[in-house]
Structure 1
């Protein structure tokens, strides 16, 4: 997911939750210490470089959370997987892992940028 798609999806979720709670953009801006214009940009997905701390304040005010999970390394599961025949090569797994890591790094990098 590129940063523009991510920003639009986050904005859609924020708007939906804000409206479900019966809050106006002005009310939410006061609750979060942000400007109403900032929230408009955020909801429209026009802020792909939103700062993570600001996004967390908005999410907290709306009763939402941001979650990042990492799978635990399980050596016994890996051994079990190796014992079973697979249609996927180990190279495919390595390529997938690399693309997930790259996508995550890109997402985190963009979240730390201030809004222009």
Structure 2
């Protein structure tokens, strides 16, 4: 699991998640209560100052979550343990 550090990486991750879910940008926008233009811009990293509640609406519509991890690189086993609460 690689941490996302900028809006370009976040947009790419959201686009990949949307495609895996079989959703169009229009359908995702509808589910999230945002415009298709917002989804398009978010996926392209063009919304670096987007309102957090709108971004989180898109994340929730994708049945995903935001997880905060330490900025330094974690070993995969340590990361898994932290995510599972075994750390």
Count of aligned pairs between the two proteins: 67
Residue 64 of structure 1 is matched in structure 2 by 64
Q: Counterparts of 2:41 and 2:69 in 1: how far apart (Å)?
A: 28
Structure number with greater CO (CA < 8 Å, separation at least 6) is 1
SS in 1 for 2:6: helix
TM-score of the aligned structures, taking structure 1 as reference length = 0.54
Q: Counterparts of 2:69 and 2:8 in 1: how far apart (Å)?
A: 22
Measured on the aligned residues, the alpha-carbon RMSD in Å equals: 1.7
Question: For each residue in 1:5-25, what CA deviation from the matched residue of structure 2 results, as whole angstroms up to 9, or x when unmatched?
Answer: 611001000000000000000
In structure 2, stretches of 5+ residues that fail to align are: 72-87
CA shift at 1:29, angstroms?
A: 0.6
In structure 1, stretches of 5+ residues that fail to align are: 71-99, 101-116
Q: Counterparts of 1:8 and 1:39 in 2: how far apart (Å)?
A: 13
Residue 24 of structure 2 is matched in structure 1 by 24
Q: Which has the larger radius of gyration?
A: 1
Question: For each residue in 1:32-55, what CA deviation from the matched residue of structure 2 results, as whole angstroms up to 9, or x when unmatched?
Answer: 110001110000001100111111
CA shift at 1:64, angstroms?
A: 1.1
